[in-house]
Structures are given as C-alpha cells and as structure tokens.
Amino acid sequence: MNYSSIPVAQTVVMHCKAKGIKDIVISPGSRNAPLTIGFTEDPYFDCYSIVDERSAAFFALGMAQQWQRPVAVLCTSGSALLNYYPAVAEAFYSTVPLVVISADRPFYKIDVGDGQTIRQDHVFDRHIGYSANLKQDVSHATGKVRKYAPETMDGEVEKLQVGIQVYNDEVLNKAMNLAIDRRLPVHINVPLEEPLYDKVTKPNVYPNCEVSHEKDAILENLEEFSKQWNSAKRKMVLVGVNYPNSIEEKFLDSLGTDPSVIVLTETTSNLHHPNFFPSIDSIIAPIEKSGHSEEMFKALQPDILLTFGGLVVSKKIKAFLRKYKPTQHWHIDPLRANDTFFALNHHFKEHANGFFNRFMPKSVHVDSEYFEFWDRFKVVYEAKRESYIKNIPFSDFLVFKNIFGKMPEGVQLQMANSSTIRYAQLFDLKPSLEVFCNRGTSGIDGSVSTAVGAAMANGKQTVLITGDLSFFYDSNGLWNKYLRPDFRIIVINNEGGGIFRILPGKEETETYATYFETTHGLDAAHLCKMYGLDYCSVKDEVALNDQLDDFFESSTIPKLLEIKTPRTLNNKILMEYFDFISSGIINHIL
C-alpha cells in the first residue's frame, strides 16, 4: 500500500482511520493530492469524488445525517474551502458531525501574491466546533522551509519535527473526538509544501491517536420535576426535528393517553400517534382569526412545556409560546438546549429515551379537559380541511395532498425548505415515511445534494420534494455518479419564490416579481437530459395522478417529475384555507 511521503498528510489519514471516520468526499485539486493519495490508497476508506465543493459538503452532510457518524470532506486550497461554508453552518445548527479537511499553502506564502491562496485558518470560527490549524512539517521540503522561513529552523530538524508532530496529534485528537462526542462540524487545515505527489510504501510517522470514550452523563434526580408534572393540568409536549424510530412506543403511548397532555409534532418530528397534533398551524391560525383569540390562547397556554428534538418549523407556535409563555419550559437533549421561546427553565442533558425511562414511572395521568378540548378542535379542522380540498382548483395545496396520498410506504422523504416544508406541515403523512429537512439554517441551498448523499447512505428509495428555486439553485447536486436508480425528485414549479407571495408586504409590481419572487420561465427538462434522469412534466390533477401511479416504480435510472402550478393562485388558495377552517370553528367548539 502506498502513502504520501509528507508526514502531516500521513498523520491526518491515520487519525481518521483510528477514529472510524471512513467516508471521505473528495473534490479535485492539486494541493490536496497528498491527502487524496493517503485516503484513496487505503482500502479502509470509502472515497467519493464530487467536483463542486458546495455540493460535496451537502452530499457528505446527507450521509452523516443518515449514519449519525462523522463524514469527512476534502478540498484543495483557496476559495474551494469557502464553498463548504453553507453546509458547515447547517451542520453546526443541526448537530451533524461534518469533518472539513482543507489543504493549505505554506504559511510563508500567505498574503504574498501566491495563486490560489487565502487566509484559511479559523475561516469557520463562528460556526464550527473546533478549528485545528496544523503546523507545517520541517522534515519535508526542508530546503524550501529554510529558504523562505529561516526563523522557524532554529534547532535540529529532527527535534523540531517531533514538536510539530506532538502538536498536530494533540489538535487532531481534539477536533475528531469533538466531532464524534459533540456531533459538531470541525475544520482541519493542513499546510503542505511541494513536492506533493511523492509516495512511500511504508509510513514514516506513528501518530498518537487518542480515541475518545464519552463519559456517562451525570443524571439528576427527577423527584421534584415529577411532582410539578403530576400537579399540572395543562402540559404541552412540542417535538422538533427528530430522527425516525428513535423514541420508544411505550413512552409515546403514555404521553398520548394522558388527559392533561397535548403533543404537538411536525413533519420532521417523525412521531405518530392517533392522539398527537401533527398540524400545528391548523390549530393556531383559527385562534388568530377568531373573536375569542385572547380567551382561546390562554386556554392553550401550558403550565409546563416539555420539548425535545431539533429546530421547530412553525412560526405560529413560536409566536404563541413567546407571548403566552409556559410557567416551566424543560428541554431534553444530551448536547444543547435552545431558548427558542425565551422561557427555558431547565435542560435535561440526556437522550429522550433515557429521560422518559426514568421519568415515566414517576408520572401519573392527571384529570384534565386540556386534551379533550383541543382534540375536539382537531377533529373539526380535519373535517373542514377535507371539505376545503374537495373544492379547490389545481394548485400547490392540491399537489401536496395528491403526492402524500400516493407516496409509497417506507420511503425516505427529503424536503426542501421555504414553502415545501411548510405545505407538508398541513398534512398527516404515513407513519412509515422517514422525513428529513435541512432545518439548521433553513436555507434553500444544498437540498438536492443532501438528498443524493442521504439516499446513497440510507439504501431505501428516497424522494426529494422541492420547489423550483431550490432545485435550480442546487442542480449541481446531480453532477456526480452516486444517484441511485430508485432516486426520485418532485419539483413543484410555480415559476418563482412562491413563499414570498404569502409573506407580509407582497405587492404586484415589477420590482417585487423581479427581486423578491424572482419569476422565471425555466423547466428541468434539459437538466434531466444532461444528467441522465427520466423526465416528465404535468400541469393538471388528472395528469399528476396518472404519472404518480408509475413514478415510484423500479427503474434503471432516476426519475424527475416536474409539476407546474399557477404562480398567482397558490397563495390565495393557501390563505383561504386558513380562513375556511377558521370560519365558525371557535363557535362550534365553544
């Protein structure tokens, strides 16, 4: 087996191997050649080649999202590294362990006019778990180091190199162990001097690779918390982004059958129970529009708010809980607790299953009308939703209803951001679906690339549902050889940023259409031809349902279904939906 001749390159590769970081997404370049040699020559590693660094990083994020373990990305020097930033920020806020490895120019060539050279050290510092800026070897290209940085060569080369090795081992251990233990992205910057392509058949370094063993959390006594829980008559459980099948069913049943508890979930919560409330906005919107809003919001206001999972999509529930604050807000998560509602009282630093395993035996069901009242509310809005859908024309709203109705059991569903994920919130999805969305930064960048990486890692049929702008923005996500033949993309093309039509401040002006909604006349046909995807386009409900009948069937190449909807009608139908379910609902309940 061959190794790079450069000690620091060998060191990085060996640390990855020792820590079990075996999946390496490589973007081509010259400066990173020593690292590329090390990873690709060792059969331990699974290496992937993706040219576009932004796409490569989101592809790696999709794999790490599915495997729940670190995945590394490797790039050359210069602006290549900056293209990782959107995925690094997403990984930071979604606690996905992305390991960024960047090749760098020698320190003495920074800011002297050398090509493909920028200030790479600490470049992600505001959105990174740790920046490991490695030291350059002096035992490699010693003559150049002595020529350009003689001040660093004060001493014997062998002794200086020993100090460099000790330092590099220390920061590499810290970076990689943090990625594993804290599930945060880390950056490893590797300065490399030419020659870059020389190989050796035996390693000439033996790094000190310290494998972290995460300590068990110190579990606090729950007696006082259980007393508060058992005395409260209005308890709300709100679940954000949550990995599929991660919560034991017995705990969900206990929460779902307590008369004093209502459980609010989102599409990304991946939790299902007949007594849960999966369409949060369908509860909040009618209250907002009623003449009894103050009375109803106070009736919904919880004594205790218990949260777990990641970030929450619904803006309405965030606005409600920020105004009508719970007396107690407890959050369960082994790593972090966001004070999203400015009311956080306590952070239980453990996994939800562990917490419920200790907490549920101490809890009792409390007599209360809290669940019963809001369950009647849910039954009414669900009936009105079905009634509304039967009478609306072809539109985004109707498209989502039909897609979810035809979706096969057991697929992985990747959702793009903006209006796509928000429409999904309005419907009850099949419990067997596994739903993911990049909600860390909630950006439209990277949805295609993430889905492609997730599909490759998951092994199940993966369906990406995306809007047109998100799809075109990240169409480079298709520029690789890792698309599975059962990969499916549904592009809902309303010729612009449809979400801006439902936000305050919309105006029917040329400026609005150009600079906010960003209207266009594009379709995906030529992209599909270029990347080898089967393409079909529909623009009415009959054609949509005809295509959906066969769309998910097995094939030899991936498929893309483009659904063209009326740009100026979609927002009206969505806003009228909330008006429709709101009309008379409060009086009906009261």
Average pLDDT over residues 139-147: 96
- Which fold does the domain 394-568 belong to in CATH? Rossmann fold (3.40.50)
| Integer CA distances (angstroms), 418 to 173, 241, 248, in order | 38, 16, 31
Q: Give pLDDT tens digits for 337-380.
A: 999 999 999 999 999 999 999 999 999 999 999 999 999 989 98
Instruction: Identify the pLDDT of residue 515.
Output: 65
Instruction: Identify the pLDDT of residue 521.
Output: 84
When mean pLDDT is compared across 321-325, 408-412, 493-497, the lowest value belongs to 493-497
Residues carrying CATH 3.40.50.1220, the chain:
223-378
- For residue 523, what are its two tokens? 């379709």
Chain centroid to CA 293: 34
Instruction: Identify the pLDDT of residue 418.
Output: 85
- For residue 420, what are its two tokens? 């796509």
Amino acid sitting at position 485: P
| Integer CA distances (angstroms), 193 to 102, 254, 435, 492, in order | 14, 61, 45, 49
Note whether 313 and 422 are within 8 A (CB): yes
Residue 317 has pLDDT above 90, yes or no: yes
pTM, to two decimals: 0.95
Amino acid sitting at position 511: T
Q: Which helix (H) or strand (E) holds 512?
A: helix 510-515
- For residue 318, what are its two tokens? 């965030």
Q: Give pLDDT tens digits for 63-120.
A: 999 999 999 999 999 999 999 999 999 999 999 999 999 999 999 999 999 999 999 9
Q: Minimal CA–CA distance to 74: which of 113, 44, 48? A: 48
- For residue 426, what are its two tokens? 């309005």
Span between the terminal Cα atoms of the chain, in Å:
76
Beta-strand relationship, 3-4 and 199-200: antiparallel
Instruction: Identify the pLDDT of residue 289.
Output: 85
Mean pLDDT across the chain: 94
* Separation of alpha carbons 4 and 14, rounded Å: 12
Q: Minimal CA–CA distance to 105: which of 159, 41, 39, 149? A: 149
Task: Give all strands (DSSP E) within 394-453, no chain letters.
Answer: 412-415, 434-437
Note whether 136 and 193 are within 8 A (CB): yes
The 10 Å Cβ neighbour count of residue 249 is 11
Strands of 186-191's sheet in order across:
46-49, 23-26, 71-75, 98-104, 186-191, 130-133
Chain centroid to CA 411: 18
* Separation of alpha carbons 563 and 399, rounded Å: 8
3-state percent breakdown (helix, strand, coil) of the chain, nearest 5: 45, 15, 40
Q: Give pLDDT tens digits for 174-232.
A: 999 999 999 999 999 999 999 999 999 999 999 999 987 767 778 899 999 999 999 99
Note whether 402 and 392 are within 8 A (CB): no
Instruction: Identify the pLDDT of residue 505.
Output: 58
Cis? peptide before 485, omega within 30° of 0: no
What is the architecture, at CATH level 2, of domain 223-378? Answer: 3-Layer(aba) Sandwich (3.40)
Residue 537 has pLDDT above 80, yes or no: yes
Residues carrying CATH 3.40.50.970, the chain:
3-200, 394-568
DSSP string, 182-214: H---EEEEEE-PSP-S-EESS-S---------P
Q: Give pLDDT tens digits for 374-407.
A: 999 899 888 889 999 999 999 999 999 999 999 9
Average pLDDT over residues 542-561: 96
Residue 587 has pLDDT above 70, yes or no: no
* Separation of alpha carbons 338 and 572, rounded Å: 34
Residue 18 has pLDDT above 80, yes or no: yes
Is 3-200 assigned to CATH 3.40.50.2030?
no
